[in-house]
Chains A and B, each alone.
Chain A
Amino acid sequence: MEKNVQKENYGAKFKTSPYFYIISRIVVYFFIAIIIFPLLYTLSLSLRSPETVYSARFFLIPEEFSFQNYVIAFTYNFHGVTFPRMFLNSVIVVTISVSLIIILSIFSAFSFSHLKFPLKETLFNVMIASVAMPAQVLIIPLFYILLYFGILNSYQALIFAYAGFLIPIGVLILRMFFEQTPKEISEAAIADGASDFQLLMKILLPLAKPAIATCVILLFLDTWNEFVYAMIYLQNPELHTVPVALAKIGTSRYYISIGAYSAAIMITIIPVLTIFAIFQRWFIAGMTVGALKH
């Protein structure tokens, strides 16, 4: 941490150049405006009363504030999809698949880091390589596999599809972490007569809490935001997850008012924004961990 503080201060030397100081501020604040504007604009649309939806000061400040759009969005039935139901679907799918992936990844990563078996590195390389494969390449064959298993159009379809797709990422991160923990700790535990199950549960796991938290955030975002699998494998409107239902609302743009439509978008953004605001550091670390440690 101290090292970072020192490096951050290095910028002080550029302060002597007023051009750099001014240009950097203009450019950075310009980009911040570009990042924020679309979100504020959607928020603004969602807060306008239906009568004043096309008028606002500086494009952003509503003339008349109203939460009516949120009420409409929450109670509206979009092609059999309702907001409470789609949040419930997403929560079920995400909770079960993230737990499943984490648990299986922990055991599997442990076998990669601490146990011996044939073809270990080959298998691990296949896992790493599979991370680069876009989900779309798998959608057709996976559709038939789920169909043959008889789980298409059920939560299980999505849970297994996510597990198959994301287990390599969990294994990758956790193996790296398990291998970073000092060998002496494992050796001491084994010398004291611990079985490898005890070694994993009592010693490695408590140490791995930060790595597991990172994994949970990464997997949460990947599954919560996932769209292709969710759209194709859960076609029953009652089972739609948040992104799929939202995309459907997007196509019915001309059946609902622009205000209610924007409110629907904001309802999907606000929970993520809240969680992000609280756990910023974890989110940024979680999303970049895979990239930085390659």
Chain B
Amino acid sequence: MLSKKFQTKTLFYLLPALVIFLFFNIIPSLTSLILSFFEFSGFETNIFRKFVGLKNFIKIYDDKYFWIALQNTFLFVFGAVVIQTAIALMLSIFIFFGNFKNSTLVRSVIFFPCVLAPVSVGLVWKTIFEQDGVLNSILGLDISYLSSVSLAIWLIIIVNTWQWIGYNLVIFYAGLQSLNTELLEAADIDGANWSAKIFSIVIPLLWPTTILNMILNLVGGFRAFDIVYVVTRGGPAHYSEVLASYLYYWSFASGGPGKMGVGSAIAFVIFSFILAIGLLRVIINQRINK
């Protein structure tokens, strides 16, 4: 086998990737935590000049729209983790056991939106939701969906679900293909009907795949930005903002406050959630492995 000791030439393989990874990923990640205690904006040369303690956090704590953004993020994550996973599970079972002759094509069609840019997807749906759009024509209504305070975030959730269902579907399908069929065959001999087989055999056996899908959607839920930006731009009046888009609003949006310290405080909050999910995942993995 190869040398068991560390050799200097190893650095030649490792370092180029590592340096880029450190400079453009790890260092900014950690700096974002520190920056949340400073006040700075735009093209300032020394961003660590003005230490303000917890002022940025107090600012977002007192900000009504931060709590709306947080609530919307949770709604969005709920949509991704529960609704999207449930629909994908249902579809995968129907396609797998429904004996579709063209099941590969069916899966490919449902998967296709995953490869599109969220920006394209958002614009496609925005056209549909517009007041003069096709949704109103089909339903015979005249509602301005995108400027509705209560509807806007749900429209974003619908668009996101539409785009990513195929992703979960394909993972569920792979889970179904590697399912142990002996139990199902035994149930067939016992004369169990299809609903009993699905609810008491297939779904319990698929539980690890379901957890995997839920975790993927959970982490993905906190990333949501593109669709929000394109479909509603956080509006009307920040009512469909999520954490990531609200961070953008505070830091970079043209016509926004341009307070990057506050943006960093929001980044701190997102960071904490992702960290908590990571720990949760480690704990779940340990439970499963026991």
Sorting the interface of chain A by its residue count into under 10, 10 to 19, 20 to 34 or 35 or more gives: 35 or more
When distances are taken between beta carbons in the complex, the residues of chain B under 8 Å from A135 are 223
Q: Considering the chains assembled together, what is the distance between the CA atoms of A284 and B225 in angstroms? A: 23
Residue among A12, A36, A111 with the most chain B CB within 10 A?
Answer: A111
Contact with B along A113-125 (1 / 0, CB 8 A): 0111110000100
| B27 lies within 8 A of A250 (CB) | no
CB of B150 within 8 Å of the partner chain: no
- Asked whether A108 and B18 contact (CB < 8 A) given A27-B94, A35-B109, A118-B6, the answer is yes
| B27 lies within 8 A of A145 (CB) | yes
Give the residue of B18, B35, B91, B123 whose beta carbon is less than 8 angstroms from that of A246.
B123
Interface of B is mostly: helix
Interface segment among A13-21, A63-71, A77-85, A207-215: the answer is A13-21
| A272 lies within 8 A of B177 (CB) | no
Chain A residue at minimal CB-CB distance from B96: A11
CB of A142 within 8 Å of the partner chain: yes
- Asked whether A164 and B20 contact (CB < 8 A) given A10-B184, A111-B13, A258-B127, the answer is yes
**Chain A nearest Cβ from B105, distance in angstroms:** 9
- Asked whether A144 and B17 contact (CB < 8 A) given A27-B94, A59-B134, A136-B267, the answer is no
When distances are taken between beta carbons in the complex, the residues of chain B under 8 Å from A4 are 177
**Chain B nearest Cβ from A222, distance in angstroms:** 11
CB of A283 within 8 Å of the partner chain: yes
When distances are taken between beta carbons in the complex, the residues of chain A under 8 Å from B100 are 24, 28
Give the residue of B138, B184, B226 whose beta carbon is less than 8 angstroms from that of A228.
B226
CB of B125 within 8 Å of the partner chain: yes
Interface of A is mostly: helix
Contact with B along A242-281 (1 / 0, CB 8 A): 1110110110010000100110010011001100100010
Interface segment among B59-67, B77-85, B270-278: the answer is B270-278
CB of B118 within 8 Å of the partner chain: yes
When distances are taken between beta carbons in the complex, the residues of chain B under 8 Å from A17 are 193-194
When distances are taken between beta carbons in the complex, the residues of chain B under 8 Å from A142 are 24, 28
**Chain B nearest Cβ from A123, distance in angstroms:** 8
Contact with A along B16-38 (1 / 0, CB 8 A): 11101101111111011001000
Q: Considering the chains assembled together, what is the distance between the CA atoms of A7 and B126 in angstroms? A: 41
Give the residue of B1, B90, B97 whose beta carbon is less than 8 angstroms from that of A27.
B90
| B225 lies within 8 A of A34 (CB) | no
Q: Considering the chains assembled together, what is the distance between the CA atoms of A265 and B229 in angstroms? A: 16
Q: Considering the chains assembled together, what is the distance between the CA atoms of A14 and B184 in angstroms? A: 11
**Chain A nearest Cβ from B218, distance in angstroms:** 10
CB of B110 within 8 Å of the partner chain: yes
CB of A205 within 8 Å of the partner chain: no
**Chain B nearest Cβ from A237, distance in angstroms:** 13
When distances are taken between beta carbons in the complex, the residues of chain B under 8 Å from A160 are 20, 23-24
Which positions in B face A, CB cutoff 8 Å? 1-7, 9-14, 16-18, 20-21, 23-29, 31-32, 35, 43, 47, 87, 90-91, 94-100, 103, 106-120, 122-128, 132, 134, 137-138, 162, 165-167, 170-171, 174, 176-177, 179, 181, 184, 188, 193-194, 212, 216, 219, 222-223, 225-226, 229-230, 244, 247-248, 251-252, 260, 263-264, 267, 270-271, 274, 277-278
Give 11 new A-B contacts, CB below 8 A, not counting A134-B270, A228-B248: A11-B97, A28-B98, A32-B106, A107-B17, A116-B6, A137-B270, A145-B24, A164-B28, A225-B116, A249-B123, A261-B123
10 A-B pairs closest in CB distance: A164-B24, A24-B98, A108-B17, A141-B28, A225-B117, A141-B31, A24-B94, A111-B13, A104-B17, A11-B99
